[in-house]
């Protein structure tokens, strides 16, 4: 019988708890340091945990790093030990496992506080090893800023590309304007929130009306694309360009009927309205008011929501980027890029190219803009992951995106959008543990960040946690007034993995317009399992003519995002049964030789 040691699951649970504390959330670099050494030890790579590897893999130092000349690792290790010492201060209940960083070493030690929850060393040795975590590199801020100066040169090429859009066979991000473009850029919408009218006939609801307005202001202000404030009784804050959010609450047979109205500032023109029904017993009133405010926010704020109607109209009329864009204009282009989806392979989606160029121009004007740097990083991670080939070192390929994403999170740790973008980069790198922590932090800062919720669900699901991932995706889809197709990817794959092939087909049909790879592949596989030859016949040609599939093989290409090998195999077997040749599943193939289905 060996000595008691914690299980891998217990260590990961302890790591997740530490990463969630304020000190770690305020310092992503310190969190990356801890996660890096813990995951490498769990992977059986303790001998590789040296000052040099930490400096290069965590802090972005180059191959010439000299630990004697540059004390970065020693300094950060001291900070980390101090944080751990405070976290494990005597008298505090911190769970059955502790993670320590011994003085004079960088290999962590795992201690069991409650030995009844541990296993022996002999049992632990039989457990499967986990994949080592590769964390993003962070270089010096001057290099990060200089990169954007260099990248700005690409904007000139982009402008020339935009002039050729009219004749390009690639789908265009925007049609030619039917009327002259609006010259004035839209500004961030300003929403003035009024107390809702109490039509219940009971004075007991008066305090709830004020609480409703407070919830709405706080929820709306959590977004970088909205400015929200209360209407003051004294007046004097009537911005002629602002929007007015008002409403009423009354009792009906089914509970509380909450009507919300968005209008022009004067209130004469109603732009949007909705009704929310919630339970009305006094004991449930605070929760009902809070939940109603969240429902209203979820409908107002998305890119397709009413707050951005004027911005979308402006964007649809433009043919070129503004020379000096503001953050709101770039965020509009970002929203369009997320909604339009992916263009497989080396061809960057036009909407994504425009969004990245917009943020580069903005960063040339405002180098310290954390939302701009974070958005650029998140989009760049998507582009890199879309263009790499199987076997590529994800950590190295995504280092360029990780740097501004990490620095933006350091500069604005309380912005949900910024934390979401860093989570996207980390997830693309395969750093699942810390990516999940960043997604959770983003949602903690703003529960109405539906893009973050959907991305979190997808990250969980594609790593094998299907039920949890699907739950997050359902929440995002249910809350969004017009959920974009990418929200359905988790449900398409998750339902297929769990054997609910009808729902898998339904979700795949939603995904297919913007994700030709997974949308078509899941539709064919699930359609075959259902015996729906019409679905197979409709999407099989798409699978067999997708260039990225025949360049590397269908399963290697899908495996870049789908990290659950069992489901990947299951998908491959169903595709083979549907008529996909085995050689096309596993390696490069000639499209013209494999489009015909074999005789069954």
Q: For 249-261, how does the pLDDT look when each residue is reduced to its tens digit (9 = 90+)?
A: 998 887 889 999 9
Confidence bin at 152 (pLDDT 50/70/90): very low
498 and 564 share one domain: yes
164 vs 168: CA distance, rounded Å: 6
470 and 562 share one domain: yes
Helices (H), 264-369: 285-300, 309-316, 327-340, 350-365
- Residue 477, classed as helix, strand or coil, is helix
119 and 198 share one domain: no
Instruction: For residue 17, tell me if it sits in a domain.
Output: yes
Q: Which one, of 208, 188, 185, lies nearest residue 198 by Cα?
A: 208
Q: What is the pLDDT of residue 28?
A: 72
Proportion of the chain above pLDDT 70, given as a percent: 82
Q: What is the mean pLDDT of residues 564-568?
A: 91
CATH code at position 547:
1.25.40.10
Q: What is the pLDDT of residues 6-23, one digit of tens each?
A: 888 788 888 878 887 877
Instruction: For residue 58, tell me if it sits in a domain.
Output: yes
Question: Between residues 249 and 1, which one has the greater pLDDT?
Answer: 249
Say yes or no to pLDDT of 139 above 50: no
Instruction: For residue 90, tell me if it sits in a domain.
Output: yes
440 vs 419: CA distance, rounded Å: 9
Confidence bin at 453 (pLDDT 50/70/90): very high
Instruction: For residue 362, tell me if it sits in a domain.
Output: no
Instruction: For residue 175, tell me if it sits in a domain.
Output: no
Confidence bin at 129 (pLDDT 50/70/90): very low
Which of 89, 104, 135 terminates a domain? The answer is: 135
Which of 278, 307, 336 terminates a domain? The answer is: 307
129 and 219 share one domain: no
Confidence bin at 268 (pLDDT 50/70/90): low
CATH code at position 202:
3.30.160.180
H/E run at residue 163: helix 153-163
216 vs 230: CA distance, rounded Å: 9
76 and 200 share one domain: no
Q: What is the mean pLDDT of residues 98-111?
A: 88
Which of 100, 135, 170 terminates a domain? The answer is: 135
Structural domain harbouring 106: 4-135
Measured from the Cβ of residue 96, the count of other Cβ atoms closer than 10 Å reads: 16
Q: What is the pLDDT of residues 524-543, one digit of tens each?
A: 999 999 999 999 999 999 99
238 and 130 share one domain: no
288 vs 105: CA distance, rounded Å: 52
Q: What is the pLDDT of residue 591?
A: 59
131 and 205 share one domain: no
Torsion angle defined by CA atoms of residues 444, 450, 454 and 459, in that order, rounded to the nearest 10 degrees: -30
What total number of domains does the chain contain?
Answer: 3
Say yes or no to pLDDT of 188 above 90: yes
Q: What is the pLDDT of residues 571-599, one digit of tens each?
A: 999 999 999 999 999 988 875 444 444 43
Say yes or no to pLDDT of 464 above 50: yes
Instruction: For residue 371, tell me if it sits in a domain.
Output: no
100 and 194 share one domain: no
Who contacts 310 (Cβ-Cβ below 8 Å, separation ≥6)? 186, 189
Q: What is the pLDDT of residue 341?
A: 66
Q: What is the pLDDT of residue 67?
A: 77
Strands (E) in 371-423, as ranges, are none
473 and 538 share one domain: yes
Question: Do you know the residue count of the chain?
Answer: 600
H/E run at residue 255: strand 255-264
Instruction: For residue 87, tell me if it sits in a domain.
Output: yes
Who contacts 48 (Cβ-Cβ below 8 Å, separation ≥6)? 40
105 and 222 share one domain: no
Q: What is the mean pLDDT of residues 436-457?
A: 94
Question: Between residues 17 and 419, which one has the greater pLDDT?
Answer: 419
The pTM of the whole model exceeds 0.75: no
């Amino acid at each position: 019988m060996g000595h008691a040691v914690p299980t891998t699951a217990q260590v990961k649970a302890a790591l997740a708890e530490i990463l969630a504390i304020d000190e770690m959330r305020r310092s992503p670099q310190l969190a990356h340091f801890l996660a890096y050494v813990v995951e490498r030890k769990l992977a059986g790579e303790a001998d590789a945990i040296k000052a040099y590897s930490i400096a290069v893999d965590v802090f972005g130092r180059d191959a010439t790093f000299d630990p004697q000349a540059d004390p970065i690792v020693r300094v950060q290790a001291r900070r980390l030990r101090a944080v751990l010492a405070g976290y494990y201060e005597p008298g505090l209940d911190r769970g059955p496992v502790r993670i320590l960083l011994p003085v004079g070493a960088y290999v962590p030690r795992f201690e069991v506080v409650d030995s009844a929850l541990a296993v022996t060393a002999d049992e632990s040795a039989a457990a499967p090893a986990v994949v080592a975590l590769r964390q993003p590199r962070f270089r010096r801020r001057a290099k990060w800023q200089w990169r954007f100066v260099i990248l700005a040169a690409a904007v000139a090429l982009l402008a020339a590309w935009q002039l050729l859009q009219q004749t390009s066979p690639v789908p265009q991000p925007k049609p030619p304007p039917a009327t002259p473009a609006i010259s004035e850029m839209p500004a961030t919408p300003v929403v003035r929130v009024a107390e809702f009218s109490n039509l219940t006939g009971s004075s007991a609801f008066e305090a709830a009306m004020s609480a409703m307005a407070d919830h709405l202001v706080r929820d709306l202000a959590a977004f970088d694309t909205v400015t929200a404030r209360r209407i003051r009784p004294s007046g004097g804050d009537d911005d002629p360009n602002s929007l007015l959010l008002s409403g009423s609450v009354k009792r009906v047979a089914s509970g509380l009927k909450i009507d919300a109205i968005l209008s022009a500032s004067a209130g004469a023109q109603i732009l949007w309205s909705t009704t929310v029904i919630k339970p009305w017993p006094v004991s449930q009133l605070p929760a009902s008011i809070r939940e109603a405010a969240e429902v209203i926010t979820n409908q107002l704020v998305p890119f397709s929501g009413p707050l951005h109607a004027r911005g979308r109209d402006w964007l649809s009329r433009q043919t070129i980027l503004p020379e000096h864009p503001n953050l709101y204009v770039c965020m509009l282009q970002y929203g369009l890029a997320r909604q339009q989806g992916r263009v497989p392979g080396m061809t960057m989606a036009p909407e994504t190219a425009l969004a990245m160029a917009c943020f580069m121009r903005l960063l040339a004007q405002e180098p310290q803009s954390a939302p701009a740097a974070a958005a650029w990083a998140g989009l760049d991670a998507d582009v890199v992951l879309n263009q790499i080939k199987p076997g590529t070192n994800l950590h190295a390929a995504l280092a360029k995106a990780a740097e501004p994403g990490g620095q933006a999170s350091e500069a604005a740790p309380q912005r949900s959008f910024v934390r979401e973008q860093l989570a996207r980069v980390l997830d693309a790198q395969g750093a699942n543990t810390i990516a999940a922590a960043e997604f959770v932090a983003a949602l903690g800062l703003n529960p109405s960040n539906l893009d973050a919720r959907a991305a979190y669900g997808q990250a969980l699901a594609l790593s094998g946690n299907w039920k949890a991932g699907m739950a997050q995706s359902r929440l995002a889809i249910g809350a969004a007034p017009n959920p974009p197709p990418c929200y359905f990817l988790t449900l398409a794959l998750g339902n297929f993995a769990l054997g609910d092939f009808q729902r898998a087909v339904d979700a795949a049909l939603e995904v297919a317009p913007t994700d030709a790879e997974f949308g078509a592949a899941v539709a064919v596989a699930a359609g075959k399992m259902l015996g729906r030859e019409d679905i197979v016949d409709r999407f099989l040609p798409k699978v067999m003519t997708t260039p990225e599939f025949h360049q590397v093989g269908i399963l290697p290409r899908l495996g870049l995002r789908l990290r659950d090998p069992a489901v990947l195999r299951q998908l491959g077997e169903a595709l083979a049964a549907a008529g996909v040749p085995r050689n096309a599943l596993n390696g490069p193939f000639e499209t013209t030789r494999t489009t015909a289905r074999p005789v069954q």
